[in-house]
Structure 1
Amino acid sequence: MNIETKNSSNRKLTTAKKNKSDEFYTQISDIERELKNYTEHFKGKTIFCNCDDPEWSNFWKYFELNFEHLGIKKLISTHYQGENSSYKLEIIGDINHDGKVNNLDIVKTPLKENGDFRSKEAIEILKEADIVVTNPPFSLFREYVQQLVDYNKKFLIIGHQNATKYKEIFKLIIDNKIWLGYGFKGGAAHFINKHYEDYATATDRKEGMIRVSGVVWLTNLEHKKRNEDIILYKTYNEQEYPKYDNYDAIEVSQTKNIPIDYEGVMGVPITFLNKYNPEQFEIVGMTSGRDEFEATPTKRYINPKQVNKDGSISNGSKVNTSSTILYNTIPDGVYYKADNADGYLKVLYTRFLIKNKRL
């Protein structure tokens, strides 16, 4: 899938998830693949799926089918009903002294409100829960995560990797309050949808589904992958790892190429989080063009201009939004010039700035 198509699918997913008639549902195979890594966390706990219609939700289906196996105390589901009143569905288990679940009860309770996760009724249910597991609306992701943090809840949720660049989410990552789970195969997921538009490539197409790349699991539940080291094998040299012109750090274009012997700050793609071990590396900032924690740019470009492929000139303010590489000769593609740049600039995608804690 090309970049234009991927961006289109992500925009359409965000828009669609605002509308109940166009909700997206996670495949149960993706849920099973991820949740099998957290089974020890679910025993004796109240699980809340607060963005899930139990008639359609595969999160509900997974926990319902595995209720006794996982030793869950209670399963609760609520979902958004637009202008209508919603309901709460519960499975309640009686856990005996051996930890086994007996006497399952299924209880359906009408709600006065529409089931929005921000409603008073939903918040009262949230207070009761131990762990929240769901696929929340991407368009409300900041607000959704903040609510979980405010109520000190454990969670395992789906989001887009670009959400890790949000100031609010990035701060939680730095503070070690949220991290990535095991992840989707190939970094993409197919979401079930009754009213879908099929714009995946032929090799990615699945009937009745929409493919979205860059989706991730985010959690504050501990898991084994989180403590696995990235295997480093390359050594540092100035030619392969150029220094940024506007940050005191070197460019590492792929996580696998992080040098084993570099003691300073390195800029890596945001996909680094898929393999991030907080015992091995420290995240010190983000090249966002703003003062993000300890990642203050070393310079701001004066009177920047963007030089397009056809030679035309346009506003170059983008050069102050991320890290740059300075070239002595004109580079291929779009580049930038500025009064205080002694050469030609290329703007990179957002980078997370890291340091090796063991050097």
Structure 2
Amino acid sequence: MLGNSILNKAKHSHNTDEWYTDYKTVKEEVSHYAKHFEGKVVFCNCDDPYESAFAKYFLKYFNILKLKKLICTSYKGSRLVENLNIFDNNNIKANNKSAYVLIVKNISADFEEPIRDEEVLSYLNEKGNVKKLNGDGDFRSEECIKYLKESDIVVTNPPFSKFTILFSLLVKYNKKYLLIGNQNAITYKNVFPLIKKGKAWIGYRFGDMSFKVPNDTPPRKTRFWIDDNGQKWRSLGNAMWLTNLDNERKHKDLILTSFYCPKKHPKYDNYDAINVSKVAEIPMNYTGIMGVPITFLKYHNEDQFEIIGEANHGSDNEFDLFKPIVKGKETFKRILIKNKKIVEKN
């Protein structure tokens, strides 16, 4: 059944590199960016074309989005193709000893409605649509870089352990992107500077996200379940979509209801800024620098706030200004901001 997107071929199922995104998650987010795809080449470079939720979504909506081309590449060793009765362009049954590429230039179907799942499967079965790659399908390979250069927008969920490597490639080749990642990536030295400068931002889903996991995944007490079809699931509370595609969310002001109070907003021991424990407690009338939770970025509007830097270890990158300490105790990492729209208390 179509509906997964591979994150990587990890050896152990507790590794989040081998968690798979379902179709609902992809559709829910990507549908917000429809206007960006007209006439574009979309590249999903971590996605098995036979089972990827991304491949399925863009095949179903190819004509509606008016895509110019869709390219999806997979990793050699994918466990998603093991039980599929599908054949490549050489009439060889798909197997996990090879990597594959799906290239779509047109779909003869209704331009008004998404094509049905049966039509997607039929298209994948049609000889020549899915081809065997020469290499292992790694997005860093020369073969996949060639496809990257050709593309306009990269939409995928890279292996979490290789997120920054892919991100650096997208920046190097000046590509638009829509990526699933772990929120920890926000403070990475090659990611945070772009967020600070307004060249990257958060998508719509920021927080809890569910993933399908392999059958050999051991059960656990929390964030694990098995659905009615026997599919195992895990969830992450700190997942996110990261993008440089404009969206409506980033232009909405965060409604502030709190006022500055020294007891509620203590100053850091080692930096002239106040610590704000919750986004809901950001004071509307404070003119100085505030350290706010990373979750603030879900609501960030650069017309309302300026990002000054971050407070993490004090050494992660040029904008990591200090280690956050309040009354002698180290606290959680913070994003440092200033309010551009100060409201005075009556």
Bin of the TM-score, shorter chain as denominator length: 0.7 to 0.9
Q: Does structure 2 conserve the Cα–Cα contact (< 8 Å) formed by 1:281 and 1:354?
A: yes
Q: 1:79: which partner in 2?
A: 74
> In structure 2, which of residues 22, 40, 55 is the aligned counterpart of residue 27 of structure 1?
22
Secondary structure of the structure 1 residue equivalent to 2:312? coil
Q: 2:4: which partner in 1?
A: none
Worse overlay, 214-223 or 231-240: 231-240
Q: Does structure 1 conserve the Cα–Cα contact (< 8 Å) formed by 2:313 and 2:320?
A: no
From the superposition, tell whether residues 99 and 56 of structure 1 become closer, same or farther in structure 2 (CA, over 3 Å). closer
Q: 1:84 Cα deviation (Å)?
A: 4.2
**Are 1:353 and 2:336 counterparts?**
yes
Q: 1:318: which partner in 2?
A: none
What TM-score, normalized to structure 1?
0.76
Q: 1:99 Cα deviation (Å)?
A: 12
**Aligned Cα root-mean-square deviation (Å):** 2.5
Q: 1:199 Cα deviation (Å)?
A: 2.1
Q: 2:208: which partner in 1?
A: 188
From the superposition, tell whether residues 294 and 59 of structure 1 become closer, same or farther in structure 2 (CA, over 3 Å). closer
State the alpha-carbon separation in 1 of the partners of residues 170 and 26 from structure 2: 20
Task: Give the greater-gyration-radius structure (CA).
Answer: 1
Counting matched residue pairs gives 294
**Are 1:197 and 2:218 counterparts?**
yes
From the superposition, tell whether residues 252 and 13 of structure 1 become closer, same or farther in structure 2 (CA, over 3 Å). farther
Secondary structure of the structure 2 residue equivalent to 1:181? strand
State the alpha-carbon separation in 2 of the partners of residues 347 and 153 from structure 1: 38
> In structure 1, which of residues 116, 124, 137 is the aligned counterpart of residue 159 of structure 2?
137
What TM-score, normalized to structure 2?
0.79
State the alpha-carbon separation in 2 of the partners of residues 57 and 36 from structure 1: 17
Q: Percent identity?
A: 43
> In structure 2, which of residues 17, 34, 39 is the aligned counterpart of residue 39 of structure 1?
34
> In structure 1, which of residues 241, 248, 267 is the aligned counterpart of residue 265 of structure 2?
241
Q: 1:30 Cα deviation (Å)?
A: 1.0
Worse overlay, 132-141 or 80-89: 80-89
Secondary structure of the structure 2 residue equivalent to 1:62? helix
Question: Which residue identity is paired with 2:48?
Answer: D
Q: Does structure 2 conserve the Cα–Cα contact (< 8 Å) formed by 1:199 and 1:210?
A: no
Structure 1 unmatched ranges of 5 or more = 1-11, 18-22, 298-321, 327-344
> In structure 1, which of residues 214, 217, 223 is the aligned counterpart of residue 238 of structure 2?
214
Residue-by-residue CA offset, 1:236-293 (whole Å, 9 max, x unaligned): 1212111110111001111111101100000001111111111111111111232553
State the alpha-carbon separation in 2 of the partners of residues 48 and 294 from structure 1: 32
From the superposition, tell whether residues 117 and 231 of structure 1 become closer, same or farther in structure 2 (CA, over 3 Å). same
State the alpha-carbon separation in 1 of the partners of residues 49 and 281 from structure 2: 44
State the alpha-carbon separation in 2 of the partners of residues 212 and 74 from structure 1: 32
State the alpha-carbon separation in 1 of the partners of residues 97 and 142 from structure 2: 15
Structure 2 unmatched ranges of 5 or more = 1-11, 78-95, 115-122
Question: Which residue identity is paired with 1:357?
Answer: K
Residue-by-residue CA offset, 1:151-181 (whole Å, 9 max, x unaligned): 1110001001111011211111112221100
Q: 1:15: which partner in 2?
A: 15
